[in-house]
């Protein structure tokens, strides 16, 4: 199935709010920027500091939040997190092209059926995705399938057991075409910012992403 019309954030329709360790906002058929990481990609001291900073932010911004405060929270904490991820902490098993290709295949397996893949990058210890969801599928279920399939095969290929991915993920509903372009360009520039060489990452862009 091809997706001809992208759906962006709509303030006039219902948002389904889900919460694990991180909050998740979902709208049917929306377009998303999503990030998740390997389980060993962030050290405990960083996670503890992030939690302390978030607790302080929450004390200064009691819920319920409007979209402006939600975006401020996202920008405040994800910038620090992504900078640390790009520093290459952990085993970085996805630097290996065979492991990264397992993730690539998982991400494209149901492309144009459950979602339309716009852009993604498989970095050494994390993944960024921009995709538009099919109305019959939730983002949560699709990410669960990506992570479970790829983790099983990577563990098998590397003779390892235990958690490969973090339990949660970070997501943002794309607001408009301008926001979409910024997200696609961020993904494209990510390996340069992290000083990666060719073969240490996998970048995918569909025809739309290539012109943004």
In this predicted structure, the answer to whether residue 13 has a pLDDT above a threshold of 90 is no
- Is 72 inside a domain boundary? no
Of 35-39, 58-62, 104-108, 155-159, the one with minimum mean pLDDT is 58-62
Q: Which residue has the tokens 């009691």?
A: 62
The string over 174-208, giving b where at least 16 C-beta atoms fall within 10 Å of a residue's C-beta and e elsewhere, is: bbeeebbeebbebbbebbeebebeeebbbbbbbeb
d(CA 118, CA 129): 8
Domain count, the chain: 1
What share of the chain has pLDDT > 90, as a percent? 57
Contact 99, 157 (CB under 8 A): yes
Q: What is the pTM of this model?
A: 0.80
130 lies in which domain range? 22-41+93-210
Mean pLDDT of all residues in the chain? 85
CA atoms in the 13 A half-sphere facing the CB of 76: 15
For residue 34, give the CATH number of its domain. 3.30.70.1290
What is the structure's pLDDT at 1? 41
Per-residue pLDDT of 163-209, as tens digits, reads 999 888 888 899 899 999 999 999 999 999 999 999 999 999 999 99
């Amino acid at each position: 199935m091809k997706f001809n019309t992208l759906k962006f954030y709509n303030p006039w329709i219902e948002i389904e709010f889900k919460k694990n360790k991180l909050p998740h906002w979902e709208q049917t058929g929306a377009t998303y920027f999503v990030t998740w990481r390997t389980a060993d990609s962030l050290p405990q001291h960083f996670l503890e500091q992030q939690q302390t900073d978030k607790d302080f932010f929450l004390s200064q911004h009691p819920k319920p939040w409007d979209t402006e405060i939600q975006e401020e929270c996202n920008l405040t904490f994800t910038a620090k997190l992504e900078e640390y991820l790009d520093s290459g902490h952990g085993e970085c098993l996805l630097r290996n092209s065979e492991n990264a290709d397992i993730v690539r295949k998982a991400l494209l397996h149901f492309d144009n059926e459950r979602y339309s893949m716009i852009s993604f990058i498989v970095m050494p210890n994390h993944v960024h995705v921009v995709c538009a969801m099919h109305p019959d599928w939730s983002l949560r279920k699709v990410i669960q399938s990506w992570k479970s399939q790829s983790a099983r095969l990577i563990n098998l290929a590397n003779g390892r057991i235990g958690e490969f991915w973090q339990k949660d993920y970070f997501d943002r509903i794309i607001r408009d075409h301008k926001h979409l372009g910024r997200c696609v360009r961020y993904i494209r520039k990510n390996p340069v910012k992290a000083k990666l060489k060719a073969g240490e990452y996998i970048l995918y862009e569909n025809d739309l992403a290539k012109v943004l």
